[in-house]
Structure 1
Amino acid sequence: MNRRKSVKKKKSATATGKKYQGIVDMTRSGVAYIMVEGLEKDIRVRQKNLNTAMHGDEVLVKIIPQRNKGGRMEGEVLQVINRKRNEFTGVLQIAGSRAFVVPDDEHLPHVLVDADYLHEAKAGDKVVVKILRWKGAHRLPEGEITQILDPGLTSANDVAMKEILVSHGFPLVFPNDVMQELLHLPDRIPDSEISKRKDVRDILTFTIDPIDARDFDDALSFRILKNGYYEVGVHIADVSHYVLPGTALDEEAYRRATSVYLPDRVLPMLPEKISNELCSLRPHEDKLCFSVIFQLSPQAEIKKFWIGKTVIRSDRRFTYEEVQEIIEAHREKEPESFLHASTDEPFVKELMLLHHLAQRLRKERIANGAINFSSAEVRFVLDERAFPIGIVIKESKEAHQLIEEMMLLANRTVAEFASKHRYKQQPIPFPYRVHDQPDEEKLKIFSAFALKFGHRFDLSTPQSIAASFNKMLALVQGRPEQQVLESLGIRTMAKAVYSTENIGHYGLGFNEYCHFTSPIRRYPDLMVHRILQQCLEGKIVPDRELEKKCRHCSEMERHAMEAEREAIKYKQVEYMMQHIGEVFDGVISGVAPFGFWVETIDTKCEGMISLQSLASIDEFRYSETEYALIGIHTGKRFRFGDTVTILVAAANLQKRQLDYELVEVLEQPAGPRKRKRKKS
């Protein structure tokens, strides 16, 4: 597998007057640093020289004389090239004839709002304000109220979720020009469009999704061919047919780059008319797709594949739970027994043969170097007010693996196909999904820690590292150290990103990989569809801005993940507020010089036990190599992965913070339990 070479950043000249383009990284003090690709050190910009630039903005900066000779370069922002975000939450205040919004983020300036742009908002209202213009660093920005957030207690959750979304740069509503474009999209597929496509409506096709899903962007078709091979179609909603480059729809989709999934809502990348209607592969409706159709042997070997535009008609919508029940009921049967199965149980034969193919693909993928980390997802049971009344831990089962393996197969095949195309003897720019090798220093620390549990790592090659991980993950299943070793192992891994520089996907063990299967909720998939169609037509037009677009999509993906984590934390605090004074068993999930975090076993709610609360036990020092706090006098250790019993001491919804107190240390991890304990 090709790897990205470690390139030392070039040190730039520090000549006064030189100009650079970069991204603003704002600190709490108000001083900013401009991150410029290729520079060894970021450029410092003091608050008075920001010239209206805010965190995340793309700017043009000029080097100015340094206060401290020989230190970091200092600069002045000349121009804001691209605003990262221009909407903020805050409180509307009115003083005489002037109205202004005080942003929740204390580092942002007040925003003046003209009476014509108040839109019925009143003094004291919690609002979303959009900056319309900012005439200079010494003047306040001017804006418009785009939404009034109901401050009532019954909708405190709604306000909190909206604040989280806006704070991470995701607009709550679609602009008027986008909504106007939607009106012109046809509801019916014309015969002229169907005639251009491969018609697969007569082949058995179905979707498999979560029970509460509303946008079905992928479907599978299946049939047994006369040559004994299986034809498996992976059909993806053809969003590119409706969302055209240069339209307001496309610009807004690119700006958002991803849908955001919070515990009680989805903020879609595309309006619901597209995501839930036109492009949703609902049963018994003709739909336009971009498809990869495979001929697979019973051993899951690819014998042939076809890529192109199709029209499909789904026969059935399955939930993961329904498919899992079918798999569990027929798991012990050999694949051959389904070839002539009775038709009394529709879809069972097709689902079980797909299941066996998926398990073969999965086994082969792991054997070839993919790392088999397990995953569990927290889902909240909400009442009609979106208040959490329960927590469910969702684990990936065979039904999920069936879809996962088929989507991975399609993504890999599309990336391999695109990688073979050339423009003027050069590889075409293409948005690969890449994942670098683990950090060498983190690996050394982790392998030393894993050795204490008897797991020896071979760090000599990327392949041996992956094999060591998989061996360890198989051996720790169900053992006390499973959670700590899996959690720390994941932390050694690099983050997957989008890039035109194909370094392969280390975690999956693929030399070429991309995202093709979710264009309703990910903009990179839409970019892949467009380039793929150019390849098929032989009309390649390279996008010189593609790497910049990849970086933007990677950054918005990170913002979405941060928003999702914040929303989950909010819900966890909201849930645990009902359990103040109760006792839970938990696992130490993080250690720091000022204390350690504990995640409860049955609810996965993480809280902090501060060093101060441990003062009656001992004084503690922090050991980074042991992931532990160690008592100076007693030698007592609180290590990552230790099982403890905690009392829920406090829950602060505003800070999204849980405070726990230590009750006892357990020798072995216990099963889920909680006990009522009176506070003294």
Structure 2
Amino acid sequence: MDKEELLCLMRTQSYRPLTAAELMEALGQEDEEAFRELLHSLEQEGYIVRTRKDKYGLPEKMGLVSGRLQASTKGYAFVVPREKEQADVYISALNLNGAMHGDLVLARILPATTGRRQEGEIIRILQRANRRVVGTFTATRHLSFVMPDDARLHQDILIPPGNSLGAREKDKVVVEITRWPEARRSPEGRVVEVLGQAGRPGVDVLSIIKKYDLEPEFPPEVLREADGLSKEFGPRELAGRRDLRDWRLVTIDGADARDLDDAVSLELLPGGNYLLGVHIADVSFYVREGSTLDREAFNRATSVYFVDRVIPMLPPRLSNDICSLNAGEDRLAMTALLTITPRGTVKDYELFPSIIRVRERMTYDAVRRILVDGDPELVERYRELVPDFQLMARLAAVLKRRREKRGAIDFDFPEARVELDDQGLPVAIIPRRRSVAEGIIEEFMIAANEVVARHLYELAVPAVYRVHEEPAPDKMEELNNFLSFFGLQIRPNREGRVNPRAFQEILTAVQGRPEERVISTVMLRSMRHARYAGECLGHFGLASPYYCHFTSPIRRYPDLVVHRILRETWSPGGLTPQCMAELEAFVALAAARASEREKVAEEAEREALDMKKVQYMERHVGATFTGVISGVVPYGFFVELENTVEGLVHVSTLTDDYYHYQEDQLALVGEHTGKAFRIGQPVEVLVARVNVEARQVDFELVKPEATVDTGPGPVAGVKGRQQVKSREKDTSPAVSKTRRKIRGQSRRKRNKATRGRS
């Protein structure tokens, strides 16, 4: 019995709640045990609800909402519905009824009170999300408890006597919850792992690793399988491969990269066309479907990159050795050979297995110094390759212009790199932007990914695609409300759809202005998160109808699956109907798993980076910095420094006047002086306080009397510009959520897809 068939029946307008027996009769089902298992599964996942009279219906038709609970640090929470059409539901602290952040819950909608916000109460907890929690152990004379690191878990976890595992005061620990919280009772648990004293080198990042349930170590059986693989090539390995070992191939990566999974080559053909080679490590040759290695890679789905370490998807034997395209060593690869016209159109292509030998391992910095700085030492050292790099830069510029012409959106956020000392403490935060070297690799990888995606789509075989859908209408409305403060507007086309070119036009218009970073950030937040899917739905941000991930199989599972599918299409006879059906089911499963683990990896990486930034600022209490106002709230405004650190200037520290929040202007305005603090305004601040545990930095304004009221005004050169105007206060949950995000929550950085690769 298919769940969609059951849900389709329940979604009909004439449906009324039915018992299991009545549903079986309506759907013509005979296997009662299997049908009841399906009902139970759908109930536990929040798709359906069973009433007290043992009848089944849809939550949304019964005044209920099922979804994940997103708690705030203030005590209240929101239920984010499973059904995207439903609005988020506000849950006060009194109505949580034992639910915790991340739980899958069922909420009852309460009678409307004030405002337009839906409010509710939790009536059922369907799935618990926090069976293990990381926190700080504290012991008193009569009581021991663990304070969770995640501030969204509001209650301390009591540790009964004999369950502390020898933990000491201020130890970071992992605690397993043995009794869930109730309305007026704290949760209980037992310590299952002691990580070490808070503040010791490495314990901070290890705590985040455990918090997100990441596993640094591989199981013994996985390591044994990896160790059993050979680097030697015989007839089996070379069969059907094209030998490219005499080609001039290079890798271009960050200086600290160890998992080198892509190499490039380029030559100019007679007539002016380019022959671009994108050569990707053939991981699928070693990691066979259904093997122990494959199951582990599926579970991990992605490598996770922290400031001081990497948790790889594959064991180091593969990721850093056998599969890594190390210079001077023969490697098995999957090659995409693209013939590209001087205008950037892919005229022809070939996809085939190959054997390669990388000529040089280059770094982004070295290529930049050759192409931009003309470093004489590097130019001499790589004199045979310099013409290739110059040709690569020329082609990358052509490809980028073509992408911009079709409307691709280019968010150029600086990525902060934190330098650590031997003790793991931050000594510098270095913002870095993409240079010509990163641009070369990014454009070449995008071109290869698009070609492979279109190839698989036209073959009509199942595949894992990288999809990025256009923004939701409500998000566009919120974005335009914000942009109106700057005289900007994004308008849909004649079909009512948003063109990515409209986003790029605004990014171009605000380039170089003080509010550029803030507008770019809010625009990025308004867009959907890119994900993996078994359907080719296009990539909005790249303005590309076909896109997949093909270029990083060492560190992303979807790329590995795409390689396997390509290999299947090359086999004699192609894919059988049975194989097609099995593959279709698997790509949906792999896409869902990869999307889920990607989000976890991004959150863990971002939290670790933010923590190191705050640790760095702890050393600079009393120092002054310049920055830009990135968010304004009733109790102050947030400032983002040039090193990407963000902190709060509380309104109580502004002593030259009484300041009031003007929501229609997103500004704090002085009662007597009329001075204002607005988004995008440059300011100088002093670091007043730092709280590493809470990840908070407090600033105080330097010379507040120097601030003047200069409204944002319209930005010229953008179609459909709109003057700033006041409007009725909007307190809807969706708008309120966006404004809370604008208030300085952690920014969602560019997709971790690549260190410069999309």
| CA RMSD in angstroms, aligned pairs only | 4.4
Q: More displaced, 571-580 or 185-194?
A: 185-194
Distance (Å, rounded) in 2 between the aligned partners of 1:194 and 1:264: 38
Shift of 1:198: 2.2
Shift of 1:654: 1.5
1:150 aligns with 196
2:459 aligns with 421
2:676 aligns with 637
Query: Aligned partner of 1:642: which letter?
Result: Q
| SS of residue in 1 equivalent to 2:583 | coil
- Measured at CA, do residues 585 and 666 of structure 1 come closer, stay the same or move farther in structure 2, by a change above 3 Å? farther
Gaps of 5+ in 2: 1-10, 18-48, 60-65, 113-117, 711-758
CA contact (8 A) 1:480 1:668 kept: no
Deviations 1:587-642 (A, max 9, x none): 101122222111123x222110122323652131241x533223345433211101
Q: More displaced, 354-363 or 576-585?
A: 576-585
- Measured at CA, do residues 52 and 294 of structure 1 come closer, stay the same or move farther in structure 2, by a change above 3 Å? farther
1:661 matched to 2:697: no
Distance (Å, rounded) in 2 between the aligned partners of 1:38 and 1:472: 28
Gaps of 5+ in 1: 1-8, 332-340, 670-680
Distance (Å, rounded) in 2 between the aligned partners of 1:10 and 1:562: 39
Distance (Å, rounded) in 2 between the aligned partners of 1:565 and 1:343: 38
Deviations 1:271-301 (A, max 9, x none): 2222111211100111122221112234433
Q: 2:431 aligns with which of 368, 390, 393?
A: 393
Shift of 1:20: 8.3
Query: Aligned partner of 2:451: which letter?
Result: T
CA contact (8 A) 2:676 2:709 kept: no
1:245 aligns with 289
CA contact (8 A) 1:232 1:293 kept: yes
Shift of 1:201: 1.4
The two structures have a TM-score, normalised by structure 1, of 0.79
Distance (Å, rounded) in 2 between the aligned partners of 1:346 and 1:250: 40
1:247-646 paired onto structure 2 within 5 Å = 247-328=291-372, 345-422=383-460, 428=462, 430-437=464-471, 439-451=475-487, 458-460=491-493, 466-537=500-571, 538-539=574-575, 540=580, 541-544=582-585, 546-601=587-642, 603-614=643-654, 616-623=656-663, 625-646=664-685
Shift of 1:255: 2.7
| SS of residue in 1 equivalent to 2:407 | coil
Shift of 1:464: 7.7
CA contact (8 A) 2:480 2:489 kept: no
- Measured at CA, do residues 303 and 286 of structure 1 come closer, stay the same or move farther in structure 2, by a change above 3 Å? same
Distance (Å, rounded) in 2 between the aligned partners of 1:289 and 1:490: 35
Shift of 1:534: 3.0
CA contact (8 A) 1:197 1:310 kept: yes
- Measured at CA, do residues 646 and 529 of structure 1 come closer, stay the same or move farther in structure 2, by a change above 3 Å? same
- Measured at CA, do residues 292 and 606 of structure 1 come closer, stay the same or move farther in structure 2, by a change above 3 Å? same
**Equivalent residues, number:** 629
Q: More displaced, 133-142 or 515-524?
A: 133-142
Query: Aligned partner of 1:149: which letter?
Result: L
| SS of residue in 1 equivalent to 2:402 | helix
Shift of 1:84: 6.1
Query: Aligned partner of 1:617: which letter?
Result: D
- Measured at CA, do residues 655 and 551 of structure 1 come closer, stay the same or move farther in structure 2, by a change above 3 Å? same
Shift of 1:204: 1.1
1:652 matched to 2:691: yes
Q: 1:168 aligns with which of 209, 212, 236?
A: 212
Query: Aligned partner of 1:295: which letter?
Result: T
| SS of residue in 2 equivalent to 1:232 | strand
- Measured at CA, do residues 187 and 640 of structure 1 come closer, stay the same or move farther in structure 2, by a change above 3 Å? same
Distance (Å, rounded) in 2 between the aligned partners of 1:548 and 1:42: 27
CA contact (8 A) 1:34 1:44 kept: no
2:250 aligns with 206
Distance (Å, rounded) in 1 between the aligned partners of 2:188 and 2:271: 69
Q: More displaced, 561-570 or 636-645?
A: 561-570
Distance (Å, rounded) in 1 between the aligned partners of 2:159 and 2:439: 49
Percent of aligned positions that are identical:
34
Q: More displaced, 645-654 or 497-506?
A: 497-506
Shift of 1:114: 9.8
- Measured at CA, do residues 668 and 485 of structure 1 come closer, stay the same or move farther in structure 2, by a change above 3 Å? farther
Query: Aligned partner of 1:508: which letter?
Result: L
Shift of 1:182: 2.3
| SS of residue in 2 equivalent to 1:480 | coil
1:24-39 paired onto structure 2 within 5 Å = 24-25=68-69, 27=71, 35-37=81-83
- Measured at CA, do residues 459 and 298 of structure 1 come closer, stay the same or move farther in structure 2, by a change above 3 Å? closer
Distance (Å, rounded) in 1 between the aligned partners of 2:189 and 2:227: 31
Shift of 1:206: 0.7
Distance (Å, rounded) in 2 between the aligned partners of 1:64 and 1:443: 29
Distance (Å, rounded) in 2 between the aligned partners of 1:23 and 1:316: 51
Distance (Å, rounded) in 1 between the aligned partners of 2:413 and 2:192: 41
Shift of 1:448: 1.8
2:228 aligns with 184
Distance (Å, rounded) in 2 between the aligned partners of 1:137 and 1:647: 42
Q: More displaced, 499-508 or 392-401?
A: 499-508
CA contact (8 A) 1:24 1:53 kept: no
CA contact (8 A) 2:626 2:641 kept: yes
CA contact (8 A) 1:239 1:519 kept: yes
Distance (Å, rounded) in 2 between the aligned partners of 1:606 and 1:546: 40
Higher strand share: 1
CA contact (8 A) 2:480 2:490 kept: no
- Measured at CA, do residues 563 and 667 of structure 1 come closer, stay the same or move farther in structure 2, by a change above 3 Å? farther
Shift of 1:141: 9.4
- Measured at CA, do residues 582 and 64 of structure 1 come closer, stay the same or move farther in structure 2, by a change above 3 Å? closer
Shift of 1:101: 7.9
CA contact (8 A) 1:253 1:269 kept: yes
CA contact (8 A) 1:101 1:129 kept: no
